[in-house]
Chains A and B, each alone.
Chain A
Amino acid sequence: MAAIVTDHLHRKFRKTVAVRDLSFAIEQGEVFGLIGPDGAGKTTTLRMLAGVLKPTSGRADVLGEDVVGNPEALRGKIGYMPQHFSLYGDLSVLENLTFFAEIYRVPSQERKERIARLLRFAQLEAFADRPAGKLSGGMKKKLGLACALIHSPQLLLLDEPTNGVDPVSRREFWDILADLHLQGVTILITTPYMDEAERCNRVGLMFRGDMIQQGEPEALRRLAPGEMLVLYTPALAQAEAVLPEFPDYIEHQVYGDRIHIFVSDADAARPRLQTFLAQRHIPIQSLYQDEPRLEEAFIYLIRQARLA
């Protein structure tokens, strides 16, 4: 059964279309990642699914409830963590959790045990009495997640929960999400980190209000155009200027220190490219084939969408 089904979900802000005729579904138990540049419509989508923003038109069913017709019924079943999730800085970790337990009307006989479990789960037991305002960035995010989990929701909507968090804390955060996933919780998450997108079961790429691709990370990665050669050269700008003249060239992407060049057959193209660059006096530090990552595919797909 699907946890989320949207049908031509549409949201305008004055004249700007933030989300355009979006139809997609998320199965129960999936970890689904929404990725895309700023302004692609990720946050607007999440807010509509959380029932805090009304669609201009279209429909969304979340855990079988219509988000427009019955937002209240929904609230008890989902955990929503907006980008700027507000904890009470003066209240301790424990008091914050108790406060959210009250808001969500967690039965008082269950409260104590559930809070203890969440503290353990979020690795915050040692910090139960610390004011939330004095936690590190990563711990605040974990507390935010624990608060969003207080009523044992079946679905989590997380809007860039790891933004600005260091790699160690990010990994801890994802380990917690993995545990939730294994317990059967459905997770819809937005993230600017491509390595996090790789941890999802499926990923949807949004651009200018549309979902332009969706699928397993593996499948999206294969949408990169052809095979990839990595070129390190001190003459980056010169190399970039002549590359489009290379016969097997499909496209290239420049990183600060290297160029990723897409060709149909990397084995065949490599020696030819070596000669091609040597003839143009462009020194090669190294040139080798590598697997395109999700990021390369993402940049390629966004470029194509911009041209369309």
Chain B
Amino acid sequence: MESPMAVSPSGIELSPNASDAVVVRDLTKRFGDFTAVDHISFEVRTGEIFGFLGPNGSGKTTTIRMLLGLLRPTEGEARVLGIDITREPQAIAARVGYMSQKFSLYPDLTVDENLTFYGRAYGLRGKVLARRKDEVLETIGLARQRTRVTANLAGGWQQRLALGAAILHRPELLFLDEPTAGVDPVSRRNFWRLLYDLAARNTTIFVTTHYMDEAEQCHRLAFIHRGKIIAMGPPGQIKRDRMTGQVVEILCDRPDVAIQALREAGVPEVALYGQRIHAAGPGLEARLSALESLLKQAGAGPRTLRIIPPSLEDVFIANVKTSVQ
């Protein structure tokens, strides 16, 4: 194993922690005039579940492609399990697992045949392959579905099988690109439990998701927007430190009137939850009584206004909006 990089070209001292699974410094990718990824830097620690969050088109998939060694960065550098992604991109695939949004299972093959196919692609043969398949089927809980045709499996099971195919060669690091898109809450919960089992066995997991409840389960998160990292840290810390304002929950007789009045008063985020309104923005806590009289005057009939803790989604949206301004 090579030692980690000492100093990057930008002069930033790199993490001296040799156990980081991924080290990224000033990584940049331009397509013509468009900068898809713009000088991002972060580390992913071994055994960590690292969540990579951002709107569509923010640079998530481009980053993953570079880290997989499939796309050459324009600038900057990165090491994946100690491998330099620019110098030895071909060495990465054998040591990492990858599951994309559109996982590529063969629908007319059985569960067992799909695993055999992927196992062989990773160079597994004979007894080793048979043993690994048994292990994986046990891990993903599909041992009893072994002979079933993949197309006939429920969505949640197909997704677990795709994960199984990505871990047959026992990768130390897993890249999961929106692995649970379109999967119901029960299956998503089971899937995340599986991820935690893998992490407990020291597999590092790099995952993108649009589900905030999943993001809350990551050890650390990075928010990426327009190619730049705009916030990073454990979910609890991000919620504590990065909310640019407060959320007020409002119950009133006329939500339609209230929404109109709040928008006209320049409250940046006004959303309707059933009969309740969530208004969010900087300085709302200090304006609580002013808001109440505003709503009274408008004829919205306010009943209660109270500050509620922001959800991770509130924080995410507030950060994205701030970074646009």
Contacts and interface: CB of A to CB of B under 8 A. Distances in A.
Instruction: Report if A and B associate in a common complex.
Output: yes
Contacts of B219: 257
A299 B53 CA distance: 25
Interface in A142-172: 160, 163-171
A167 B210 CA distance: 6
B193 A168 contact: no
Nearest to A257: B217
Given A194-B213, A201-B274, A256-B196, 20 more contacts: A37-B156, A37-B186, A38-B156, A164-B210, A166-B58, A167-B212, A168-B55, A174-B271, A182-B259, A192-B184, A193-B211, A199-B274, A200-B274, A237-B200, A255-B217, A256-B195, A256-B217, A257-B219, A299-B186, A302-B186
A299 B274 contact: no
A295 B185 contact: yes
Interface string A239-259: 000000000000001111100
Given A174-B271, A178-B272, A192-B185, A166 B49 contact: no
Interface of A: 31, 35-40, 136-138, 160, 163-171, 174-175, 178, 181-182, 192-195, 198-201, 216-218, 236-237, 253-257, 295, 298-299, 302
Contacts of A166: 54-56, 58, 210
B317 A198 contact: no
Given A166-B56, A167-B317, A257-B217, A36 B184 contact: yes
B154 A38 contact: yes
B185 A299 contact: yes
A236 B197 CA distance: 10
A272 B193 CA distance: 27
A174 B270 CA distance: 11
B182 A160 contact: yes
Nearest to B55: A166
Contacts of A31: 274
* Most B-side CB within 10 Å, residue of A136, A166, A169, A194: A166
Interface of B: 49, 53-58, 101, 154-156, 178, 181-189, 192-193, 195-196, 199-200, 210-213, 217, 219, 255-256, 259, 270-275, 311, 313, 316-317, 320
Contacts of A192: 182-185, 188
Contacts of A181: 272
A255 B196 CA distance: 9
B225 to A, nearest CB: 9
A38 B217 contact: no
Contact of A37 (B181, B182, B184, B196): B184
Contacts of A178: 259, 271-272
Contacts of A38: 154-156, 183-184, 187
A243 to B, nearest CB: 15
* Most A-side CB within 10 Å, residue of B55, B154, B212: B55
A288 B57 CA distance: 38
A39 B187 CA distance: 12
Contacts of A160: 182
Given A38-B155, A136-B57, A254-B193, A171 B271 contact: yes
A264 to B, nearest CB: 24
Contact of A137 (B54, B56, B155, B195): B56
A37 B317 contact: no
28 contacts: A31-B274, A37-B187, A38-B156, A40-B184, A138-B56, A164-B181, A164-B210, A165-B210, A166-B54, A166-B55, A167-B55, A168-B55, A168-B316, A169-B55, A169-B56, A195-B213, A198-B274, A199-B271, A199-B272, A199-B273, A253-B189, A254-B189, A254-B193, A256-B193, A256-B196, A257-B196, A257-B217, A295-B213
B50 to A, nearest CB: 13
B55 A163 contact: no
A201 B199 CA distance: 39
B313 A167 contact: yes
Given A178-B272, A182-B259, A195-B212, A165 B185 contact: no
A42 B187 CA distance: 16
Contacts of B154: 38-39
A236 B274 contact: no
A275 B320 CA distance: 44
A137 B61 CA distance: 14
B178 A195 contact: no
Contacts of A198: 273-274
Contacts of B270: 175
A34 B95 CA distance: 42
